[in-house]
Amino acid sequence: MSMDLDAPVPMGAFEQDQTAATILCCNCGAPIDGTKAVGALCQDCVKLTVDITQGIQREAVLQCCKDCERWLQPPTSWISASLESKELLAHCLRKLPGLSKVRIIDASFIWTEPHSKRIKVKITIQQEAFQGTIVQQTFEVEYVVASLQCADCKKSFTVNTWNSSIQLRQKVPHKRTFLYLEQIILKHNAHRDTINIKEAKDGLDFYFAQRNHADKMLDFLSSVAPMKVKKSQELISMDVHTSSKSYKFSFSAELIPICKDDLVVLPIKLARSLGNIYPLTLCHRVGTTVNLLDPTTLQTTDIPTGTYWRSPFRNLADVTQLVEFIILDIELVGRSNGRFHLAEATVARASDLGSNDQTYFTRTHLGGVLHVGDTVLGYHLNGANFNDLNFEELEASNQGSAIPDVVLVKKFYARKKKNKARNWRLKRMAREYEEEALHQQQAGSTNRKQEQERNRLEEDFEMFLRDVEEDQELRGTLDLYKAQRRAAANGDMEMDDESEDEEVPQIDMDELLDDFDELNMNDHE
């Protein structure tokens, strides 16, 4: 009998030889593959009987400072993290020591009531239960938020705990510069390290727990305003055994007493060194340097901080001495410098209309915005007496004949509507007033002087708000916020007021930010 080796073999013979051994699960009796079974258990029974979350806490405690809302990271460090942020999630996972032995696949927050003082986190982990078997499980961990007070907040509620202070001063009769600095500080959050801010005469006082915070604040202020700084220190304590000493540092920062729209007379020698500009100038902007403008020729110059403090001088007149003039005739000369256009104008004081026919001829840089019949604010120099050595030197020189009778500063917009009709607001910093004034206010003994001071502050703030509306360049450096709309009952009245002030510059809604909650609506509404 012969056998054909090339004859095909039936498929059933190989299938019978390759059939896997099947066993029953020792727990539930389900048939499973014996070659892949782990401990004679099916996959469902492995998930039910093996717990890879053993040794991981299901409850923990988080310490949070109730004042600064920072979280304690033992032993002594504090971290800043908002609710449901990745920083807070990482801090929660670090509180569970058993997680270091497993692999974390996913972690997320579970919503809880904001006032429940509970934080729930859902965690998914993986671990090798048996050789060649990886088990994945999901569980929840509940954290109890315990209120605590950090060391920095403890110091802020006690007296004489500051380490460094900055006394910022400017000796001018108005607060426009400080109002501008306040908005710049708020925009860049430069006051985040201060433990207290007090309002004092001619300025503000900033208090810090560490000296490096004060140095950082000084660097910021020097980058936005020209100033000079003096440092002083006071010995608090000294250890004779280790020669260690503790000091309190005070920094006196004085701003240049020249503000926007001030009339300035330069020393003749300094004016010649600054491009031979005419000494009688207008300050049109104050930044890291003082920017001056000659309104009769449109020539500009900058005075660096160091140059000013080597030979300081004061302004000849400030915005509190501005006078209203009426434009009777104006004609463009044809010269321009940026947004300034030179023009020749004939003006008369608003108070002289109807009583005399006194008119004044002058050159102005406002040719691009002024028209016949407009009201403009300016300085009246004809017949005025100034106690200024630089002005007397200018009058005695050969350039004294070029002194104009009137120097126009800016266009005046008549406003009939109230401040509440503005569709924008500014933030204000939380500050404390002088202790003496605060005690008198609490006692109810407000005198006439305090009432005048309060009215003056309101006038300065209103003047600053008008500058923001009228100066687009100034407005671009600040953060403006949308105001909450008034009740519908007042809607018609607001529309009437807005129709009366059509000529007043309006701020576009695209320039405003949506941040209602952080606004202090009680201030200057």
Give residue 520's pLDDT. 44
CB 164 within 8 A of CB 232: no
- Six-digit token pair at 44? 């469902």
CA angle 312/314/319 to nearest 5° reads 150
The distance in angstroms from the start CA to the end CA of the chain is: 117
pLDDT in tens, 187-223: 998 988 888 888 888 889 999 988 999 999 999 999 9
Q: Per the structure block, which two tokens stand in for 206?
A: 């900033």
**What totals of helices (H) and strands (E) does the chain contain, helices first?**
13, 25
> Judging by DSSP bridges, how do beta strands 375-380 and 406-411 pair with one another?
antiparallel
pLDDT tens digits, residue range 438-464? 455 555 555 777 788 888 888 888 888
pLDDT tens, residue by residue, 293-344: 999 999 999 999 989 999 899 999 998 899 999 999 999 998 898 889 999 9
pLDDT of 272: 92
Walk across the sheet containing 290-293 and list its strands.
263-265, 280-286, 290-293, 300-303
Residue with tokens 């923990």: 60
Phi-psi region of 39 (alpha: psi -120 to 50; beta: other; left: phi over 0): left
Strands 280-286 and 263-265: antiparallel
Total residues found in the chain within this entry: 525
For domain 57-151, which architecture applies? Roll (3.10)
What is the reported pLDDT for 14?
44
With a CB cutoff of 8 Å and minimum separation 6, the contacts of 392 are none
Residue 249: name the closest of 233, 265, 227 by CA. 233
The pTM (predicted TM-score) of the whole model is 0.68
Identify the CA nearest to 480 among candidates 427, 442, 441.
427
CA-CA-CA-CA dihedral for 175, 181, 185, 186, to nearest 10: 60
DSSP readout, 483-497? PPP--GGGHHHHHHH
Please name which of 127, 72, 78, 82 lies closest in space to residue 109, comparing C-alpha atoms: 82
Give me the residue spans of the domains in the chain: 21-50, 57-151, 162-255, 262-411, 460-482+506-516
Cα–Cα dist 311/438, whole Å? 39
The angle, 0 to 180 degrees and rounded to 10, between the axes of the packed helices 448-470 and 176-188 is 60
One-letter amino acid for residue 407 of the chain: V
Successive 10-residue mean pLDDT values, the chain, 525 residues: 49 50 73 64 70 82 89 88 90 85 88 88 83 79 90 70 89 87 91 86 88 93 92 87 87 93 93 92 90 93 91 90 93 89 93 85 92 93 88 88 91 71 82 55 62 84 88 85 59 46 73 60 42
